[in-house]
Amino acid sequence: FGVWPRAADGAAPEGFDAWNALARFGYPLDNREATVAAFHRRFRGRDDLPKTLDAEDARILHSLLLQTP
């Protein structure tokens, strides 16, 4: 349940600020590694990814923002 990314939304636009998107969804930014780990667990279903944001994370966040009123 909840909002999930849509594949049809495509890649995030050039200059997309993934950290700002995480903050808008209520993720704390004081410990960025923990924030990325929590995001990866929730939306990518993995704990073994690097604790950095990549293009797939930006795509997911952009898709979620498009669905947020």
pLDDT at 2: 73
Question: pTM of this prediction?
Answer: 0.91
The DSSP string of 29-62 is: -SSHHHHHHHHIIIII--SSS-SS--HHHHHHHH
CB atoms within 10 A of CB 61: 25
pLDDT at 1: 58
Q: Where are the domains of the chain?
A: 21-66
pLDDT one digit per residue (tens) for the chain, 69 residues: 578 899 899 999 999 999 999 999 999 999 999 999 999 999 999 999 999 999 999 999 999 999 988
